[in-house]
Structure 1
């Protein structure tokens, strides 16, 4: 019994801060300072004592953010796989912070590349009209009206126009290069394509589109 209590105290003490080597490397990767990282780490361990976020827990978080998205389970699974860099079936603190840093501090092109991977439902490296239509429909659902948004054309028509703009070589598929190039040049398109992974809209500032 005494050993058990001792182990629990040691675990709690250990999880108060990240090892110096780990926090230094993570600070370089994320751009956050050591104090911020240790604060986030304490909160992460408090919410997830195992030190890992399971797919089920991640899906619950995503469901809270996007309750009206009919495809939220599939999208959450794809997002989880993207964040689970070592493919162990869980997201640890390092993976979580790198993902969070990319979403909040990454360049528009980095965010668009992540969005492309998420929208590429079958993982074949290109986006089809159907996949773009799914993105648009999800956006309409997030806006609270699955049938359309006031002042915006029906989802199918909107998706066709967006697809035509992204498919620069008109071959019927959108590559990651086309996706990131067009998105990084047009803030309106970027906001649409990043709405499900970015927490706020981009401004017209050209520096944000580099």
Structure 2
């Protein structure tokens, strides 16, 4: 069994503090009781027509009613049918008003933009939400790995971990004096525990192997279970 993260390391582990903040967030997606009863196609402007409800429902773990629920907010914020990164950052900042969420929002956006088109469609959004909010532990860890794998080469480097963890501190409004050298020391400590074969990079197998055995990391994901 790998060594447990100490109290400071748990604060920087993926989604530990972020997930804790989400527990207090109510998503502004309207009132479920107001959903349409009919099984209609989800309409959007002609510039970007989303897939039919049943197609998105089959591709994700959301029901048709849940998809309609999210889509009402989506089309209000993104009438063109796609989300650009500036728009995504603006929406994301509403959830974390105490800090600077722009860099972390960038990493989330690029993780959702799997086709690397520079935009996120409604289907992209629902696929990401399905994995985070309704996925298995392994699916959630795979998503977390892709977040840290900034350059999408299949490995997490110390620099990538440093960038994402620094973004998490900024996101949560961490006002403590945290010089870069101190943060790097902190990241190195975490990195050593995850880099199981000490080759200088973290593979997805190493990431899943370690994180799936750490009770604190597992618990940090469980908060998403209560958001629906």
So what's the TM-score if we normalise by structure 1? 0.68
RMSD: 3.0
SS at match of 1:169: coil
Gaps of 5+ in 1: 1-15, 149-153, 193-197, 203-210
Pair 1:161-2:189 in alignment? yes
Deviations 1:54-101 (A, max 9, x none): 22101212333345666x444433322322244443222111111111
CA distance in 2, matches of 1:139, 1:146: 13
Report Cα offsets for 1:98-141 as digits up to 9, x if no partner.
11111111122222222222222333322222333334434444
Match of 2:201 among 170, 173, 179: 173
Number of positions where the alignment pairs a residue of Structure 1 with one of Structure 2? 175
Cα distance in 1 for residues equivalent to 2:122 and 2:76: 12
Residues in 2 aligned to 1:175 and 1:122: alpha-carbon distance in whole angstroms: 13
Q: Distance in 2 between matches of 1:132 and 1:191?
A: 21
For 1:201 and 1:51, locate their aligned partners in 2 and report how far apart those are by CA, in whole Å.
Answer: 26
Q: Which has the higher helix share?
A: 1
Question: Who wins on radius of gyration, i.e. which is larger?
Answer: 1
State how far apart, in whole Å, the 2-side matches of 1:130 and 1:62 are.
Answer: 24
User: Which position in structure 2 is the counterpart of 1:59?
Assistant: 89
Which residue, 82, 94, 98 being the options, matches 2:123? 94
Q: Which consecutive residues of structure 2, in runs of 5 or more, have no partner in the other structure?
A: 1-39, 44-50
User: Contact 1:140–1:147 at 8 Å: present in 2 too?
Assistant: no
- In the alignment, does 2:215 pair up with 1:187? yes
Deviation at 1:30, TM superposition (A): 2.0
User: Under a length normalisation based on structure 2, what TM-score does the superposition of the two structures give?
Assistant: 0.63
State the shift of 1:36 in Å.
2.2
Q: Once structures 1 and 2 are overlaid, which stretch shifts more, 47-56 or 115-124?
A: 115-124
Greater relative contact order (CA < 8 Å, ≥ 6 in sequence) = 2
Distance 2:222 2:97 in 1: 16
